[in-house]
Structure 1
Amino acid sequence: MSPSPQHPSAGPAEPSPARFANPLARGIAATRPAFLLVTLVACLVGLAVAHGSGVRLDPLTALATVLLALVAHAAGNVINDYHDRDADRLNTGRLFPFTGGSRFIQNGVLSARQTAMLGYGLLAAVIPGGLWLAWSAGPGLLAIGAGGLLVAWAYSAPPLYLVGRGLGELCIVAAWLLVVAGADYVQRGAFSALPFAAGLSYALLVANLLYINQFPDHAGDAAAGKRTLVVRLGPQAAKWGYLVIALLAYAWLVLMVGRELLPQKAAAAAFTLVLSFNAAKHLIDHADEAAELAPAIRQTIAAACVHGLILTGALAMAEWPGGH
């Protein structure tokens, strides 16, 4: 596919109106479905915590939890595209499809108004299902769900616009912890510290994905007034932050296993530090070279997802102090 003449900045792999002429395919692709994997894994971690605690899983509410979490994440992606449209337009250093947004607005696939309607429509669609789950599981889920919807909105939208204030990583950690906790709560019917103990290392590794994506985008973000941590610190200082976040994630996991809050088998998830540290080394060597960062971004995605899947297996199958 060659760049559209109306949108000369479009790269060869980026979306075009001709490619997404089908409205349904266009709407699905606008949500960036490949990135929803991190939410699916977070749900699995939460369900595994409940199962490992001796809770019998209910298939219907488990499936509903996963579907609603995926729709909420999809809504957040589209809302982010709408509110980041100016930064994405100025972003010439992007690494599509990893950074720079979906490019649907910039390449004329969807208008800004259509994008806003899709994003906020998906967010509204989560509410009825969430209320049904809360009726089934307990009122505490309302607090978890409201927190998740608030983070999804406040991350990108004014007046809070937390990602533009250098607080995006904290939002990501909070959001994915809430996904883990929500999946556990639906099955358990009560609050527990266990999903937070189990989910924090995973949430930190997901936050590192946002963090490394800010390096190719930092020039466009700065031009649009989006003050992410990488913009505030500059790439050469900020590159060490990736390693700090990774070290915090693995240190937390080891601490939880050492204090017997998680089963010994969960320590196997620490093997993904090889991926995280390789990505950190690559970032440290190429922080100012956006075109060189794709391998590190791929390793960051793999580190988070494999870490979460290993945790899922360990938590679901092992007998542990918080469990049976």
Structure 2
Amino acid sequence: MSNELADPVEPTVALRQVPLQCYFLATRPAFLSVTLVAVLIGLASAFHDLGRLASMTALATLILALMAHAAANVLNDFHDADNDDGNHERLFPYTGGSRFIQNGVLSRATTGRFGHGLLAAVVPAGLGLVWQSGPGLLIIGLTGLVVGWAYSAPPLKLASRGLGELAVTAGWLLVVVGTDYVQRSGFASLPLVAGLGYALLVANLLYINQFPDRLADARAGKRTLVVRLGPTRARWGYVALALLANLSLLLGFILGMLPAMALLALLAVPLSWRAGCRLWSNGEHPEPLAPAIKLTIAAAHVHGLLLALSLLFMKGFSL
């Protein structure tokens, strides 16, 4: 099956006829799975130490994390609208934004109100979890909201300053740590060790997406790492992030902080390798990079799911 058949088409104004579906799709739901996996890692790390999970609290944490990610996606479209307007090299649905603003499905003002509304809805729900689990979650939650907002919003615009990868790594690591905190009502080292490799692989997804977008980003003055380094030198960044992700997993095992079964997550390495090889040959050409982006998505998911399963199965699973 060709990529044209396999990938969804860009949204059209016909979506306005079904408002609920329209607003749901504007959150880019297909990409919310990276947050789902991060929550699973956090739950698995808590269960590994506690031998139990509070199921309703786990569900509330998942819903809250997905809402925060959805808000960040919508706000990114809002703040990046000028960049995305001139992005003719995009690989939809992976790069160039959701196209809701550009294709006239939602106005920029409506998109902004929707994104800020989602972000506002996260706050009271988050405070409820803080009341239940402890004040440490307030620090985690506020930091996560600031990182999600500052990624694309002025005046910080971290992605435009070459700090997008750092923000994404921090953001998804906070999801793992926060999920674990809600279950144990305290901080622990395991979610940091378990979540770091996964967060770096999610950052690598952002990183490879910058290659097709680099010309549009440069024209709009968005100075991402790929724009700053150029496609030839920037290829090394993908390799470095993939190596760091898997080395952090190995180091966690060597230091006795992760069980041997966690090394199953290394089965995702061939996916990153194949993606890196394709990027190495096609870094300057957007069209052939769609398979590499898909492989990068797969690498993060396989790594995270295998790691979560390894932590869960070290004990008998019971709620």
TM over 0.5: yes
Question: Which residue identity does 1:237 align to in structure 2?
Answer: R
Residue equivalent to 1:128: 124
**Counterpart position of 1:284:** 280
2:47 paired with 1:40: no
Match of 2:24 among 28, 31, 49: 28
CA–CA separation in structure 2 for the residues paired with 1:32 and 1:12? 12
Residue ranges of structure 1 left out of the alignment (5+ in a row): 1-10, 320-324
In the TM superposition, residue 92 of structure 1 has moved relative to its aligned partner by: 0.5
Which of residues 64, 87, 91 is equivalent to 1:91? 87
Deviation of 1:128 after TM superposition, in Å, equals 0.7
Deviates more, 1:14-23 or 1:36-45: 14-23
Q: 1:129 to 1:292 in 2, by over 3 A?
A: same
Distance in 2 of aligned mates of 1:112 and 1:124:
18
Contact 2:8 2:93 in 1 (8 A): no
Question: Does residue 211 of structure 2 align to residue 227 of structure 1?
Answer: no
RMSD (CA atoms): 1.1
Q: After the TM superposition, list the runs of 4 or more consecutive aligned residues in structure 1 that deviate by more than 4 angstroms.
A: none
SS in structure 2 of the partner of residue 293 of structure 1: helix
> In the TM superposition, what whole-angstrom CA distance separates every residue of 1:61-114 from its partner, at most 9, and x where no partner exists?
100000000000000000000000010001000000000000000000000000
Residues 1:161 and 1:44: Cα distance change in structure 2 (over 3 Å): same
Equivalent position of 2:3 in the other structure? none
The amino acid of 2:212's aligned partner reads P
- The TM-score with structure 2 as length reference comes to 0.95
Residues 149-164 of structure 1: matches in 2 within 5 Å?
149-164=145-160
State the Cα deviation string for residues 156-213 of structure 1 (Å, max 9, x = none): 1000000000000000000000000000000000011110011000000000000000
TM-score by length of 1: 0.94
Task: Tell me which residue corresponds to 1:146.
Answer: 142
Q: Does structure 1 retain, via aligned residues, the 8 Å contact 2:95–2:213?
A: yes
Cα distance in 1 for residues equivalent to 2:279 and 2:180: 35
Shift of 1:294: 0.4
| Alignment partner, residue 203 of structure 1 | 199
Q: Percent identity?
A: 59
Letter in 2 for 1:289: H
Of 97, 100, 104, the match for 1:101? 97
Task: Work out which of the residue numbers 74, 77, 80 in structure 2 matches 1:78.
Answer: 74
Q: CA deviation at 1:56?
A: 2.0
Structure 1 residues 143 and 55, CA, compared in 2 at 3 Å: closer, same or farther?
Answer: farther
Structure 1 residue 19 displacement after superposition: 3.6
Residues 15 and 21 in structure 2, CA contact (< 8 A), matched pair in contact too: no
Decide whether aligned partners of structure 1 residues 92 and 248 sit closer, same or farther in structure 2, where only a CA change above 3 A counts: same
- After superposition, give the CA deviation of every residue in 1:122-152 in whole Å (9 maximum; x if it has no partner): 0000011100001001111000000110001
Counterpart residue number, 1:180: 176
For residue 12 of structure 1, report the CA deviation from its aligned partner.
8.8
1:243-258 alignment, distance < 5 Å: 243-258=239-254
Q: Quick one: distance in 1 between partners of 2:302 and 2:8?
A: 30
